[in-house]
Amino acid sequence: MPRALVVEDDPAVQAALVHALRGLGHLTRAVGTAASALREVAAGTPDIVVFDLGLPDLDGVAALRMLRDVSDVPVLVATARGDEDSVVRSLNAGADDYIVKPFSGTHLEARVNALLRRSKPSSAQGAQEREDVIELGGLHVDLGRRQATLDGAALELSRREFDLLAYLAGHPDRVVGRRELFRAVWDHGTAADDRTIDVHTSWLRRKLGETAAAPRYLHTIRGVGYRFTAPG
């Protein structure tokens, strides 16, 4: 059974989230402060964290950065802050996904299941990935080891950045639509997630040593999606 950690200081909201996650079959614990959350994650207990930004002891974005220092556990931010700046700051701090209150149990279930699928591929997928290496120009992507190098230098990629790079590089010279990317990399295709993919493609471009105005590998097809191709 997946183990979920709810980080929420409002007792009513915390109880509702715990009830929903337990109803989905998750072993669920709940804490109300960032310090308690960091202790739980450092102990290595949860498979997923549902995280509110409005915590009493520490700014939520700062807490996310600290959490990322100790673990790569999937984190779903569940908060009332729906403005673009909060979304971007949370993703930049290490969140894997973002959901704005109020939301339905069905919506929560879809987001949680998507993160768990992405973080724990099946043994059959793992066996296949260990044999797969993608090479495009100076880019080398080892799917099994989840490592990538560019012109011989290692790329420091987050889990999501690696998944995005692996999918795009695995479909070279083909236009990949935004909705296809959502489904393949994030396991959902909601139009409201446009900001999420914009942020991650921007980070990936920076680590590939390019910009949207001067792309080498990752080309934007305006209004459609992206095409990944070797330089030249």
pLDDT of residue 187: 64
Residue 92 has pLDDT above 70, yes or no: yes
pLDDT tier, 141 (very low <50, low <70, confident <90, very high otherwise): very high
Assess whether 111 and 29 both reside in one domain: yes
Report the CATH number at residue 62.
3.40.50.2300
**What does the alpha-carbon distance between residue 66 and residue 85 come to, in Å, rounded to a whole number?**
19
**Structure tokens, 54:** 């409005």
Task: Count other C-beta atoms under 10 Å from residue 130's C-beta.
Answer: 12
**What does the alpha-carbon distance between residue 215 and residue 229 come to, in Å, rounded to a whole number?**
10
Assess whether 75 and 98 both reside in one domain: yes
Average pLDDT over residues 96-111: 89
Omega within 30 of 0 (cis) for the link into 215: no
pLDDT tier, 193 (very low <50, low <70, confident <90, very high otherwise): low
Assess whether 47 and 18 both reside in one domain: yes
Element (H, E) at 128: helix 123-129
Assess whether 57 and 82 both reside in one domain: yes
Assess whether 159 and 63 both reside in one domain: no
**What does the alpha-carbon distance between residue 148 and residue 154 come to, in Å, rounded to a whole number?**
6
Average pLDDT over residues 189-196: 55
Assess whether 89 and 143 both reside in one domain: no
Q: Of 91, 119, 147, which one is at a domain's C-terminal end?
A: 119
Question: Quick one: 228 exposed, middle or buried, by C-beta within 10 A (0-12, 13-18, 19+)?
Answer: buried
Q: What are phi and psi of 129, to 5 degrees?
A: -65, -30
From residue 153, how far is each of 38, 76, 177 by CA, in Å? 32, 31, 29
Residue 62 has pLDDT above 70, yes or no: yes
Assess whether 7 and 108 both reside in one domain: yes
0.75 exceeded by the pTM?
Answer: no
Distance of CA 113 to the CA centre of its chain: 13
From residue 148, how far is each of 152, 158, 159, 231 by CA, in Å? 9, 11, 12, 17
Q: Total domain count for the chain?
A: 2
pLDDT of residue 192: 42
Task: Count other C-beta atoms under 10 Å from residue 174's C-beta.
Answer: 12
Q: By 3-state DSSP, what share of the chain in percent is helix, strand and coil, each rounded to 5?
A: 45, 20, 35
Measuring CA to CA, which residue among 223, 188, 219 is closest to residue 201? 219
Residue 64 belongs to domain spanning: 3-119
Residue 221 has pLDDT above 60, yes or no: yes
Assess whether 15 and 94 both reside in one domain: yes
pLDDT of residue 42: 82
Assess whether 115 and 131 both reside in one domain: no
Q: Of 119, 136, 157, which one is at a domain's C-terminal end?
A: 119
Residue 222 has pLDDT above 80, yes or no: yes
pLDDT tier, 194 (very low <50, low <70, confident <90, very high otherwise): low
Assess whether 7 and 115 both reside in one domain: yes
66: alpha, beta or left? (left if phi > 0; alpha if psi -120 to 50): alpha
Residue 45 has pLDDT above 60, yes or no: yes
Assess whether 97 and 199 both reside in one domain: no
pLDDT of residue 85: 86
Q: Of 74, 96, 119, which one is at a domain's C-terminal end?
A: 119
Assess whether 64 and 135 both reside in one domain: no
